[in-house]
Structure 1
Amino acid sequence: MEQYKEIAPRLVGLREGIGWTVEEMADLLNMPKEKVAEYESGTVEIPVGYMLDVSRLCRVDLTTLISGREPHLKSYSLVRKDEGFSVDRRKDYDYKSLGYKFAGRQMEPFLITVPAKSGEDMTETSHRGQEFIYVLEGRLEIRLDGEPVIVEEGDSFYFNSEKPHALRGLDGKDVKFLDVIL
């Protein structure tokens, strides 16, 4: 089962539990009501940026929204190598949440692997907040507001994630990077 099919009912339950209609939720998120309904339908992938916006708006932890389980650590959280919580939200990206155990997070750190692909296969997204990327392995193309930026191993890139952006690995290789969403 695709994970978004499990997340969609949590989105509906959260919205309804607060007492908002789809239209009210859409207004609060500044997006079309059709998009909110589509994400709640369980028939399409749900962008992590949307889930982050909903979790912040509704004051619910992102881990709870994604997994249905509450994070419990409040003073620190240690996530060992290869133990990140897998966020299977897109077919072409591998997301591992690195802060999922910590309750009340102010940022969302991820270890992300993006495959090499053609420029035509890049899919744009946008969401509230800011984003920080630090490339660990490979070369990454970030298309930001239609303009390509090449980020290489050891480089970092900080940007307004409300701007449309898309990612791909270059040179026929996957790229691995730390991504922190604020």
Structure 2
Amino acid sequence: MNDQIRQIAERLRGLREALEMNTEEFATRAGVNQTEYERYESGNFDIPMSLLFGVAQTFGIDTTELLAGETARASVFFVTRKGTGISVERRKAYKYQALGAGFTGNKSEVFEVTVEPGDKAISLNSHTGQEFNYVLQGTMQLHIAGNDLVLYEGDSIYFDASKPHGMKALNGEKVVFLAVIL
């Protein structure tokens, strides 16, 4: 795994230790089983953005603290200039840019997500809440709750994020979309 994931895992561990919780207690509050949480905390496995968002909400911190080790400070507005969002590369095929990371007390998380083309199967994930995706560039296959949908530039979808979902770029070209997690 990359160094960025290890750093996020260290911040997760640091938060858990600061709260004086064992891994079982923390995992339960975070909504995952203990074994799965321990895998994430080890820094050797991809950590879902949905888990980080849920941990931040559950324990009353900003996602920025977990992603970047910084505290969000803006409370009236926060501007993210093109290409300057906090970048999180979780997997080779996915790149996330947090677009509202400097705003404190977020009610949602907004990401620009770039998915590179590839032949790998869609990796499914689920989390509490809802999600909105808007395709900015390219064509995306979205698998959700057993359904396969194709979204084109300008298309959007709003869905129950607790249902298993995942996406992949189509036509040998990258897809770029906005993802809003509520």
TM-score (norm 1): 0.94
Q: Partner of 1:171 in structure 2?
A: 171
**Percent identical across equivalent pairs?**
38
Q: What is the alpha-carbon distance in structure 1 between the residues aligned to residue 65 and residue 32 of structure 2?
A: 23
Q: What is the alpha-carbon distance in structure 1 between the residues aligned to residue 87 and residue 62 of structure 2?
A: 16
Q: Which residue identity is paired with 2:176?
A: K
Q: What is the alpha-carbon distance in structure 1 between the residues aligned to residue 28 and residue 71 of structure 2?
A: 27
Q: What is the alpha-carbon distance in structure 1 between the residues aligned to residue 93 and residue 129 of structure 2?
A: 23
Q: Partner of 1:144 in structure 2?
A: 144
Find the residue that maps to 2:131 and give its secondary structure: strand
Q: What is the alpha-carbon distance in structure 1 between the residues aligned to residue 124 and residue 3 of structure 2?
A: 21
Q: Partner of 1:74 in structure 2?
A: 75
Find the residue that maps to 1:109 and give its secondary structure: strand
Over aligned residues, Cα RMSD in angstroms?
1.2
Task: Name the count of aligned residue pairs.
Answer: 181
Q: What is the alpha-carbon distance in structure 1 between the residues aligned to residue 67 and residue 23 of structure 2?
A: 20
Q: Partner of 1:113 in structure 2?
A: 114
Q: What is the alpha-carbon distance in structure 1 between the residues aligned to residue 70 and residue 3 of structure 2?
A: 18
Is the 2:68–2:86 Cα contact (8 Å) retained in structure 1? no
Alpha-carbon offset, residue 40 of structure 1: 0.7
Q: What is the alpha-carbon distance in structure 1 between the residues aligned to residue 84 and residue 43 of structure 2?
A: 27
- Where do 5+ consecutive residues of structure 1 fail to align? none
4+ runs deviating over 3 angstroms: none
Find the residue that maps to 2:136 and give its secondary structure: strand
Find the residue that maps to 1:159 and give its secondary structure: strand
Equivalent runs, 1:149-160 vs 2, <5 Å:
149-160=149-160
Q: What is the alpha-carbon distance in structure 2 between the residues aligned to residue 55 and residue 76 of structure 1?
A: 20
Is the 2:141–2:150 Cα contact (8 Å) retained in structure 1? yes
- Where do 5+ consecutive residues of structure 2 fail to align? none
TM-score (norm 2): 0.94
**1:95-154 Cα deviation digits (max 9, x unpaired):** 111101111111111111112233x52111111111100011111110002220111111
Alpha-carbon offset, residue 2 of structure 1: 2.1
Q: Partner of 1:132 in structure 2?
A: 132
Q: What is the alpha-carbon distance in structure 1 between the residues aligned to residue 50 and residue 141 of structure 2?
A: 19
